Amino acid sequence: MKISDDIKKQLYHFENIELNGTLHISNADQLMSSITLGERVMAVCDSLELDFSIAKDMLLKYGVHQIKKKSITLTANEKTLLENFADDTLGERTLGDILNETHFTDPEAYFKMYDSSIMRLFPVKKELERSSLSKQMFKDIPISYDHLEYGKESGLGFNARWHPYSHKLGSFFQLYMECGVLRAKMAINTAPHNMNITSNKLLFEKLLYHYGKYQELLTALPSEYDISEDLLLFERKTDLFFLLKAYSMLINDEWFNSIEFHKQEEYLKVLSAFTLVDDLKLKIYLVERFIAEGSIFMYADFALGYIPLLRLLFIQIPLMREIMNDALVYTSSNVIKEREKAKKVKIRLNNYRIVENFHCYNITELQSEPLFKIDVKELGHSELFFRLYKKVYKIREVKKEFIEQTTNKISKIIHENSDVLFGEWDSHIEAILYSIADQFKTEGEYLSLIKPEEENNIIDADAINFHFDRKAMVRKLEESGINFENLGW
């Protein structure tokens, strides 16, 4: 959240998200135990029918993974700066050692990690030749600088072009998309327009194949490799764990199968909106509880029903991530000398060093969890799957932009109106979240029914308007004197 430290501290207080215990963090477990998620988060979990202790564990682990990823997501200039101090040490390792552990030096190093033991598992007829793969996957970047035509490009130029692909965290996903999807000619994200019964069934079979194959390949990767980001990237691209979990429960749900078609459609619209959740475990847990508890009745007024989820996504999770980062920065700032060169970037690398051994997801453990138990052999294709797939696909097309824009707008409102908002925080933030939900309800229903005329304007966060006379909470917001006309909404 792009807000000042003073405002952030007040938000921690209002949402009951606090640091406790030591501020000298040495590992991920210590970081998680230092965070208190209090009554406000507990109330949100209760509203969403979630067991607080289970949800808290998921939230904290997801937060650590996000911090780990952020700590080593360097710009090309930051990486070059650190390379200039490669012999400086953090703990028992040099900066150069840490960079080599977190980044590939070139495509040759990338394919050295994913050697023939992995390559042979892809279902392709022709041998996968690395030089060809490199140019296809990395936009004509040769497999190494030595393969460049002499004098064509400097080493700095080569490194700058390679940098966007150099991160090891999440690097397997791109290989799968190239070899397991494109070259294997096995579609994974087919648009649902103009499909018939035959093509629907074929898509279902391909998705079942990818669900099993991707997990098989993740299992084959070295145990020290953190597959967490690869798993999240796969789910962001496909929502496949969500789709199969929801479908496997709905086809056996007596109440759902007894209601009228139009009521089922309303139910699926609400259910599909849970794909806004990024963390895989939390998303699947929400699905399970929503279906098992019959929580559709909470959403009779869709906008009001979604306030708890939006509060979790746009307020509480970002604040939890911020306070985790605060704790690590405090620790790392005491490790890096005050006037040391490249201090800010070194602090981030030290943050990574603290949490580097933490893996949010382990594929073997994931497969053994009851939450993820899906007998795909028993799943047959039906029209229901495609109806759900269509709704999820439409939301996925705009999800990233919607979340980013809405997060930025909420930050702006809080930053420019903190004095008023903090006067009665709960009613004010609920009014803001109600407005977001109200727009998502309208646009979400439209998304679920027909192909939009303007693909780039499906959900427009800039169109969010907080002046709703029909709700007392919003009237109260207006009475507090917040002028949204000047906020650029």
DSSP of 214-281, one letter per residue?
HHHHHHHS-TTS--HHHHHHHHHHH-HHHHHHHHHHHTT-HHHHHS-HHHHHHHHHHHHGGGG---HH
What is the value of pTM for the model shown? Answer: 0.89
Cβ neighbours for 54, distance < 8 A, ≥ 6 positions apart: 285
Directed axis angle between helix 343-355 and helix 76-83, to 10°? 90
Question: What integer pLDDT is reported at residue 376 of this predicted model?
Answer: 82
Question: What integer pLDDT is reported at residue 189 of this predicted model?
Answer: 84
Question: What integer pLDDT is reported at residue 442 of this predicted model?
Answer: 66
User: Phi, psi at residue 68, to the nearest 5°?
Assistant: -60, -45
Contact 208, 171 (CB under 8 A): no
User: Phi, psi at residue 89, to the nearest 5°?
Assistant: -110, 150
What's the alpha-carbon Rg for the chain, to the nearest Å?
24
Question: What integer pLDDT is reported at residue 478 of this predicted model?
Answer: 55
Question: What integer pLDDT is reported at residue 138 of this predicted model?
Answer: 92
Question: What integer pLDDT is reported at residue 470 of this predicted model?
Answer: 35
The domain locations on the chain are: 1-69+263-489
Instruction: State the CB neighbour count (10 A cutoff) for residue 192.
Output: 17
Pairs from 93-98 (Cβ < 8 Å, separation ≥ 24): 93/353, 95/346, 95/349, 98/349, 98/352, 98/353
Instruction: State the CB neighbour count (10 A cutoff) for residue 148.
Output: 16
Q: Which residues of the chain have pLDDT under 70?
A: 22, 125, 148-151, 295-303, 442-489
